[in-house]
Structure 1
Amino acid sequence: MKILQNVVVKQILTEQSRQKLLDKYNDQMLQLQKEYEQLQFEAKRLEKSKRFQPGEIKPQFEKEMSIRREKEKLLEFQISQLHMLPLGSELKEKEVQAIIDVSVGDAWGDPASQPVIVIKDGIIQEIR
């Protein structure tokens, strides 16, 4: 019988992969800042339009802006942690699904038997 199983993909940290992660985090940070500024602009625009009461609009925009600020703080933390990690560390990148064969007598639910794919600079180094 064939079933789907989650497979963890881990990345070995190198200078190249560190730089790619930093670039990705910085891009996400810029996007969050743009969204925050757009929310501020929209809130001011709607306040001036006089179609809505200021008390109706402001809480929703403040909530959305605080969500963006929290995401920015999380990204800043991730960037600081990335700088502290030594080269060669394994980082969990994502999970993918694989089709595996199971049969009567196989061990079930053994966490050590969960497959792991290790990549380094985009090339598979090991399958455990």
Structure 2
Amino acid sequence: MQIIQTVVVKQILTENSKKKLADHYEAQKLQYQREISQLQFELKRLEKNKGYSPGALKNHFEKEINKRLEKEKLIEFQIEQLHMLPLGSELKEKEVQALVEIKIGDIWDGRIGQPTIIIKDGIIEDIR
């Protein structure tokens, strides 16, 4: 019988992977800044159009802008944390699903532990 099991994928932090993560975070931060600018522009454009209620319009756009500002703050925090992490640290990257073969007589605790795949610079280093 086969069952589906969640496998954790962890990445070992190297100089190369640290730079890639920092670049990824910076790109996300820049994207949120662009979205904020676009929302501010759209708000001003729609305020000139008299077909919308100014209070409701402004409230809606402020909510969207605040969502992006919160996401931007989170990204800044992640960048700070990344710079503090020493090389060789293991970072949880994602979780994937795997098929596991089980049969009568298998030790349940031994077969169904939390398996982990360790990746270093894009290459599988270890499977635990």
Deviations 1:34-85 (A, max 9, x none): 0000100111111101110101201110001000000011000000000000
* RMSD, aligned CA: 1.7
Change in CA separation of 1:109 and 1:37 when aligned onto 2, cut-off 3 Å: farther
Could you tell me how far apart the structure 2 residues matched to 1:70 and 1:50 are?
A: 30
Question: Shift in Å at residue 109 of structure 1?
Answer: 6.5
1:114 aligns to what SS in structure 2? Answer: coil
Could you tell me how far apart the structure 2 residues matched to 1:53 and 1:65 are?
A: 18
Q: State the match for 2:72 in structure 1.
A: 72
Query: Percent of aligned positions with the same letter in both sequences?
Result: 65
After superposing on structure 2, the runs of 4+ consecutive aligned residues of structure 1 that deviate more than 4 Å are 107-110
Q: State the match for 2:32 in structure 1.
A: 32
Could you tell me how far apart the structure 2 residues matched to 1:81 and 1:105 are?
A: 46
Task: Kindly provide the amino acid, as one letter, of the partner of residue 35 in structure 1.
Answer: E
Change in CA separation of 1:60 and 1:109 when aligned onto 2, cut-off 3 Å: farther
Where do 5+ consecutive residues of structure 1 fail to align? none
Instruction: Please list, as runs of the form range in 1=range in 2, the aligned pairs for 1:10-89 lying within 5 A after superposition.
Output: 10-89=10-89
Question: Shift in Å at residue 104 of structure 1?
Answer: 3.2
Where do 5+ consecutive residues of structure 2 fail to align? none
2:92 aligns to what SS in structure 1? Answer: strand
- The alignment of Structure 1 onto Structure 2 pairs a total of residues equal to 128
